[in-house]
């Protein structure tokens, strides 16, 4: 099994659906430790991505992710726009012009996306940010791919499950980066909204490949 442009378009469409469905949840999570705008921003950004897809159909997965990156950077406010824009752009670069993506290429793109987030946001695991979803996802994807038994769907499932667990694991953390860090110990007991939206994005990738 390989992933192609049709998968990428379906992935982005499912991302838009997920952000619309979870918009209020993300707003509430961000209200507790941030600016209350994460859900609104992510919903608006991916609705803009949907509009772009309606104008033209990307021919490769890389082209789809590059378009997404540019759209999110221009439409999503706060920290999420630059962070997700960088993630999608790095992943697009990793995919290159390939029409099809195998497990190794997928793992490389997920790693590039995570590294882009780290480089842009200067956050590490344990800082209570989206990195706490992305790093476990990358580690799980790499383990699945290196095991030699997982196809692209298996790699995506491993990544999504690890991201979801990583998001839950942010609950007791004390934020060390971003707006939430201003709260100090009061940030403990709240789930990081960026980690949650990251898990939603990776789960959507699974849905597109299933």
Residues 110-147: pLDDT tens digits? 999 999 999 999 999 999 999 999 999 999 999 999 98
Kindly tell me if the per-residue pLDDT of 97 is higher than 80: yes
Average pLDDT for residues 159-171, to the nearest whole number?
A: 98
Kindly tell me if the per-residue pLDDT of 182 is higher than 90: no
pLDDT of residue 150: 72
Kindly tell me if the per-residue pLDDT of 63 is higher than 80: yes
Percent of the chain with pLDDT over 90: 87
Q: Which CATH class is domain 5-209?
A: mainly alpha
Q: How far from 155 is each of 38, 91, 101, CA to CA, in Å?
A: 28, 15, 12
Tell which wins on pLDDT, 187 or 72: 72
Tell which wins on pLDDT, 93 or 34: 93
Q: What is the pTM of this model?
A: 0.96
Kindly tell me if the per-residue pLDDT of 165 is higher than 90: yes
Average pLDDT, whole number, for the chain? 95
pLDDT of residue 54: 94
Tokens of 177: 């980066």
Closest CA to 24 of 2, 39, 41, 42: 39
Tokens of 138: 């990358």
pLDDT of residue 181: 80
Q: How far apart are CA 114 and CA 133, in angstroms?
A: 9
- What residues have CB less than 8 Å from 107, skipping those under 6 apart? 138, 141, 142, 145, 155
Minimum mean pLDDT among 31-45, 71-85, 172-186: which range?
172-186
């Amino acid at each position: 099994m390989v992933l192609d442009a049709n998968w990428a378009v379906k992935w982005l469409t499912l991302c838009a659906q997920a952000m619309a469905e979870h918009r209020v949840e993300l707003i509430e999570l961000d209200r507790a430790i941030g600016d209350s705008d994460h859900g609104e921003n992510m919903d608006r950004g991916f609705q803009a991505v949907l509009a772009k897809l309606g104008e033209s159909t990307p021919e490769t997965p890389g082209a789809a992710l590059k378009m997404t990156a540019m759209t999110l950077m221009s439409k999503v406010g706060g920290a999420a726009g630059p962070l997700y824009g960088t993630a999608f752009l790095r992943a697009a670069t990793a995919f290159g012009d390939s029409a099809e993506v195998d497990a190794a290429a997928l793992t490389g793109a997920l790693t590039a996306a995570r590294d882009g987030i780290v480089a842009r946001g200067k956050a590490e695991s344990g800082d209570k940010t989206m990195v706490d979803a992305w790093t476990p996802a990358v580690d799980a994807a790499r383990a699945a791919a290196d095991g030699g038994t997982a196809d692209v769907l298996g790699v995506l499932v491993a990544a999504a499950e690890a991201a979801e667990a990583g998001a839950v694991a942010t609950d007791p953390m004390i934020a060390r980066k971003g707006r939430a860090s201003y709260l100090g110990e009061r940030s403990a007991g709240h789930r990081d909204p960026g980690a949650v939206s990251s898990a939603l994005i990776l789960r959507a990738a699974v849905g597109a490949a299933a």
